[in-house]
Amino acid sequence: MERTFIAVKPDGVQRGLCGDIIKRFERRGFRLVAAKLTQASEERVKTHYADLKAAPFYAGLCEYMASGPVLAMVWEGRRVVKLARTMLGETDPAESKPGSVRGDLCVDIGRNVIHGSDTVENAKREIDLWFTADEMLDYTSCAHACLYE
């Protein structure tokens, strides 16, 4: 089983989209491992987006991500990193297909409502950055046998 880090960004929280986004992950069949509403420090956000340090939008992105509440979550499932990225859509909402979170719920690349880890390795790094071990719950999903062969 894989885990991924998903966050509803401040624009998504403010626009009341948390329920819609959680619902998509629940219905797809992923298991919720951890969730918290939190306002991140700029330091945490800068570490989170460290690979984009050289991008012209890095400072604005970090300032924005630390500006308000974020719904941070860990979701688990087979190949969840890749499947979640597909559910998110492309980075630019204009390139995102209808049916994806960004294709359905937003218009601006700088306000694209959701973050999802892009690799298994980055998922591990991001989960460690946003959650402590005791915030993550291990339980068996009743639906497991119906979801997996």
Which spans of this chain sit near ligand IDP (rule: CB under 6 A)? 52, 57, 61, 91, 109-110, 112, 115, 118
- In the block, tokens 């499932």 appear at 77
99's CB contacts (< 8 A; 6+ apart) are none
Smallest separation (angstroms) from Mg ion to the CB of 137: 26
CA separation for the pair 127, 12 (Å, rounded): 20
Nearer to ligand IDP, 111 or 141 (CB): 111
Question: Of 48, 55, 65, which is closest to residue 11 (Cα–Cα)?
Answer: 65
Q: Which does 110 bind (CB under 5 to 8 A by kind): ligand IDP, Mg ion, none?
A: ligand IDP
CB closer to ligand IDP out of 120 and 142:
120
What residue type is assigned to position 110 of the chain? G
The verdict on whether 115 is a catalytic residue reads: yes
User: Which residue number places its CB atom closest to Mg ion?
Assistant: 118
Query: How far, in Å, CA of 112 to CA of 10, rounded?
Result: 10
Residues that bind Mg ion (CB under 5 A): 118
Q: Which 3 state secondary structure label does DSSP give 28?
A: helix
In angstroms, what is the minimal distance from the CB of 143 to Mg ion? 29
Minimum separation from the CB atom of position 87 to Mg ion (A): 14
Using DSSP's 3-state secondary structure scheme, residue 120 falls into helix
Annotated catalytic residue: which of 84, 112, 115, 130? 115
Shortest separation between residue 122's beta carbon and Mg ion, angstroms? 8
Say which residues have a Cβ less than 8 Å from residue 122's Cβ, sequence separation at least 6: none
Q: Which residue is nearest to ligand IDP (CB)?
A: 91
**C-beta of 61 vs 80, nearer to ligand IDP:** 61
Residues annotated as part of the active site: 115
